[in-house]
Amino acid sequence: MNVRVLCPPVCLSLACLLGFPAAAVFGQAASSRATVQQELGFEQQTDAALKEWHTNPPGTVTADDQVAHTGRWSARLQRDEKSAGTFSVMTRILPVDFAGGTVELRAFLRLKDVSGFAGLWLRQDADGEILSIENMQSQQVKGTRDWAEYHITLSLNPQAQKLYFGVLMEGTGTLWADDLQLLMDGQPIANARPAPRETALPGDHEFDAGSRVNITALTPVQVENIATLARVWGFLKYHHPALTAGQRHWDYELFRIMPTVLAASNRAQANTAMVAWIDKLGPVADCRECAKPAMGELSLKPNIDWIRDRETLGAELSARLQRAYENRTGSQFFVSKATGAGNPLFAHEPSYTTVKFPDAGYQMLALFRWWNIVQYWAPDRDAAGQFWPAVLQEFIPKVALAQDKDAYQLVLFELIAKLNDTHANLWSSLQVRPPLGGCWLPAQVRWVENKAVIWRVTAPGDAENAGLKPGDVIEKMDGAAVTELFEKWVPYYADSNEAARTRDLTAFMTRGSCGPAALDVTRAGKAVHVEAARVQVKGYTPQWHDQPGETFRLLSKNVAYVKLSTIKAEDVPRYFKKAMGTKGMVIDIRNYPSAFMPFAMGSMLAVKPTKFVAFTRADLANPGTFRFDEEPVIEPGGQHYGGKVVVLLDEVSQSLAEYTAMALRAMPNTIVVGSTTAGADGDVSDIPLPGGLHTMVSGLGVFYPDHRPTQRVGIVPDVAVTPTITGITAGRDEVLERAVELIEH
């Protein structure tokens, strides 16, 4: 299994670094090699949040304005015994649109008390598969060292599509990095010669500067015709042999036909135009090795009955589509499958970073691309509960008529939310999603008893000065009722279920402009007005709900406790050994696991080979089909723990946390306590969108072995326990208390 990610994703073992899927690098579009060098000295920094880099684990990688090799700023990786995982890493991505012999990464490094090792790293991928990787682990750069220049090299593979590079540190200590250089054959990467353009896009540059599609208003007839065009364009993309062989710049062909379809006065004219457009692709020959119909146990079948609807399409257009379907070869150009996990990859989807908005054509391309990926490559499209043709028609005018980039991004948030997938979202553009602003109240908020409740103060001094206390129920912010604010914001939050949606709304609700904020709260049944202040937050602090302190401890002679947010795989046998003789163990997954635990812990609990999950994967030869695959099995290990096991879950338990809970729940003497989880599991697939944007989709279907679904449903506890306002006010962990009670009694 590949790593399953909660956004922000966490990849916290060195093996994970060497093999994490491309989609796991979240919230960061690929950089431009023309400008990347300007950003490798960190002088564009204005605060400690490291710009343009993906960093993990949260809070361990920042910018530093106190120590630098040159200039004012450097990057700092700092870890102690309490840091999550075993190492910290900072990463950039470049598309390999250049050619040459040797890639070289140079940087000045400074070390203080590094216990493991520090170094640079390079990796090149193609179609989600690692081609090669290089790092400095063998050099064992550790301890305390003054500034010195280091470098690593990698021979460029002609098949490479993405280049990953960065800095990492294993163990504890502090590492500073500054004045990085990325070179190709000894010259700045910006000067590298361009790679030969793929024959898939044969020198077609007509719309590089813009789509030239102008839309100022849309009639119902135009919306209907454009909706048909969207479906025809997407169907051909994954079925017509000229396109599955990559012989056309299909995005640009869309821009060529769209004005004609818009100009059609009725359905028949639009259909006739599409027939002529399809005919320019050339005749569809009888297939010699035709794709075989989908076989086996299927979770989803293609929704393609519409291609036979002659009343809507007309006889000729319907015949063209059926001809392409019946003679499909099973090959694909625009989609492939990740090695190992098998989730879809969309490596041949340009993100068109230079588009100037508004551009109705490129905006419509975003809608067409995303909608068709959902129809053919999203395992949970039916679980979303949408009538997708109606969604398409609803968003055609919304997307086409967006008047600037912010409006375009905001309507994409609304569109993507229709998938009801917490993995989705427009991750490149969270700064546009309401509420807007760069500051936050110094407190974490949770949805408790159907109210927004301050759960924890994150900066006690600031919070106390502001008069904020755990247990305060926020009724109004700056005069606006919380219920009204949520009603305005909720269309832009892509979440699988209500547990995840209220989690995310409360997590973001205090964001706003820096400075004063007026709150009306209820405290101990009394109305209280609080004058607080939003402040800048340095770095990302995960809002986990597990216990602070050590990863493992004995709560009593009868009860052991372990939390997975800071677990290390190598410590698991030692923890279980310490737990021997206790009545039971609490495994707290009200967090995101820092290491992959399903098999490491499951083997300690299993008494026989045990299945715990079933996956569905896309069938490339039959777009829109998902079939059940072989199921992984947990084998019993040499060490066995026979006490009760209580797994704690709640709304922050997502993705890998949910997958881990499924594995542990399948073991003997295990019960799940808490509340419903976020309902988003499966390796994610990245979807680039015009404007340098990107979203994701859950790329695998995740089910129980009996094929009961988990997407949107989440992991439902055996014993439901939720926090109360009274308990939060008193500083209690009522979920943990109930777990201990179940073990003791």
List pLDDT tens digits, range 446-501. 999 999 999 998 865 555 556 899 999 999 999 999 999 999 999 999 999 999 99
330 part of a folded domain: yes
Contacts of 377 (CB under 8 A, 6+ apart): 335, 344, 618, 623, 685, 697, 699
Q: Looking at 111-125, 291-305, 454-468, which range is the least confident one?
A: 454-468
Contact 27, 678 (CB under 8 A): no
- Would you state the pLDDT for residue 13? 35
Q: Check whether 268 has a pLDDT greater than 50.
A: yes
205 part of a folded domain: no
b/e code 673-700 from CB counts within 10 Å (16+ = b): bbbbbbbbbbbbbbbbbbbbbbbbbbbb
Residue 2 pLDDT grade (very low, low, confident, very high; cuts 50, 70, 90): very low
Name the phi and psi angles at 229, rounded to 5: -60, -40
- Across residues 678-691, what is the average pLDDT? 93
Distances (CA, A) of 147 to 68, 69, 153, 565: 9, 7, 20, 33
360 part of a folded domain: yes
Contact 281, 240 (CB under 8 A): yes
Say whether both 564 and 673 belong to one domain: yes
Task: Select the more confidently predicted residue: 101 or 574.
Answer: 574
- Would you state the pLDDT for residue 36? 81
Contact 681, 702 (CB under 8 A): yes
Contacts of 184 (CB under 8 A, 6+ apart): 98, 100, 101, 102, 103, 104, 156, 191, 192
- Position of tokens 């402040």? 535
Say whether both 226 and 368 belong to one domain: yes
Alpha-helical runs (H) found in 517-623? 572-579, 598-605
Contacts of 159 (CB under 8 A, 6+ apart): 126, 131
- Would you state the pLDDT for residue 100? 83
- Across residues 94-102, what is the average pLDDT? 84
Q: Check whether 599 has a pLDDT greater than 50.
A: yes
Residue 10 pLDDT grade (very low, low, confident, very high; cuts 50, 70, 90): very low
Say whether both 594 and 709 belong to one domain: yes
pLDDT of 530-549, one tens digit each?
999 999 876 556 789 999 99
DSSP state string for 412-447 = HHHHHHTT--TT-S-GGGGGGSSSP-SBB-SEEEEE
Instruction: Pull the structure tokens for residue 319.
Output: 């015949």
Residue 391 pLDDT grade (very low, low, confident, very high; cuts 50, 70, 90): very high
Contacts of 433 (CB under 8 A, 6+ apart): 410, 413, 426, 489, 492, 493, 508
Q: Distance (Å, rounded) from C-alpha 207 to C-alpha 355?
A: 10
Q: Check whether 45 has a pLDDT greater than 50.
A: yes
437 part of a folded domain: no
434 part of a folded domain: no
Q: Check whether 625 has a pLDDT greater than 80.
A: yes
- Would you state the pLDDT for residue 62? 93
pLDDT of 273-290, one tens digit each?
999 999 999 999 998 888
- Would you state the pLDDT for residue 605? 97
Say whether both 486 and 581 belong to one domain: no
Task: Select the more confidently predicted residue: 7 or 624.
Answer: 624
- Would you state the pLDDT for residue 462? 54
Contact 119, 89 (CB under 8 A): no
211 part of a folded domain: no
Q: Check whether 29 has a pLDDT greater than 50.
A: no
Say whether both 498 and 375 belong to one domain: no
Residue 333 pLDDT grade (very low, low, confident, very high; cuts 50, 70, 90): very high
Distances (CA, A) of 157 to 15, 29, 103, 162, 453: 22, 22, 10, 10, 53
Say whether both 413 and 315 belong to one domain: yes
Question: What is the domain count for the chain?
Answer: 4
Q: Check whether 8 has a pLDDT greater than 90.
A: no
Contact 604, 639 (CB under 8 A): yes
Check which CATH number belongs to the domain holding 514 and give it.
2.30.42.10
Q: Looking at 96-105, 237-246, 440-449, 569-578, which range is the least confident one?
A: 96-105
Contact 614, 299 (CB under 8 A): no
- Beta-strand runs (E) in 542-637: 552-554, 559-563, 584-588, 610-611, 614-618, 626-628, 633-634
Q: Looking at 89-103, 494-508, 551-565, which range is the least confident one?
A: 89-103
Q: Check whether 695 has a pLDDT greater than 70.
A: yes
DSSP state string for 231-283 = HHHHHHHHH-HHHHTT-S-HHHHHHHHHHHHHH-SSHHHHHHHHHHHHHTT--
- Would you state the pLDDT for residue 396? 98
Contact 110, 145 (CB under 8 A): yes
Say whether both 337 and 391 belong to one domain: yes
Q: Check whether 162 has a pLDDT greater than 60.
A: yes
Residue 696 pLDDT grade (very low, low, confident, very high; cuts 50, 70, 90): very high
- Position of tokens 């406790």? 561
Say whether both 413 and 455 belong to one domain: no
DSSP class of 626: E
Q: Check whether 77 has a pLDDT greater than 50.
A: yes
What is the percent of the chain with per-residue pLDDT over 70, rounded to a whole number? Answer: 92
Check which CATH number belongs to the domain holding 716 and give it.
3.90.226.10
Check which CATH number belongs to the domain holding 42 and give it.
2.60.120.260
- Would you state the pLDDT for residue 308? 97
- Across residues 622-646, what is the average pLDDT? 93
- Would you state the pLDDT for residue 7? 31
Contact 490, 509 (CB under 8 A): no
Q: What is the mean pLDDT of the chain?
A: 90
Q: What is the pTM of this model?
A: 0.76
Q: Check whether 4 has a pLDDT greater than 50.
A: no
Q: Looking at 14-28, 239-253, 368-382, 467-481, which range is the least confident one?
A: 14-28
Q: Distance (Å, rounded) from C-alpha 739 to C-alpha 586?
A: 7
- Secondary structure element (H or E) that encloses residue 658, with its range: helix 656-665
Task: Select the more confidently predicted residue: 145 or 537.
Answer: 145
472 part of a folded domain: yes
- Would you state the pLDDT for residue 3? 33
Say whether both 296 and 355 belong to one domain: yes
Contacts of 708 (CB under 8 A, 6+ apart): none
Say whether both 474 and 559 belong to one domain: no
pLDDT of 190-221, one tens digit each?
888 776 544 345 568 999 999 999 999 999 99
209 part of a folded domain: no
- Would you state the pLDDT for residue 19? 41
- Across residues 379-397, what is the average pLDDT? 97
pLDDT of 415-424, one tens digit each?
999 999 999 9
- Would you state the pLDDT for residue 129? 67
Residue 101 pLDDT grade (very low, low, confident, very high; cuts 50, 70, 90): confident
- Would you state the pLDDT for residue 630? 81
Contact 448, 732 (CB under 8 A): no
Say whether both 692 and 731 belong to one domain: yes
Say whether both 120 and 264 belong to one domain: no
Instruction: Pull the structure tokens for residue 340.
Output: 């190992």
- Would you state the pLDDT for residue 128? 64
Q: Distance (Å, rounded) from C-alpha 430 to C-alpha 119?
A: 31
Q: Distance (Å, rounded) from C-alpha 483 to C-alpha 488?
A: 9
For residue 206, the SS3 value is coil
Q: Which domain holds residue 462?
A: 443-534
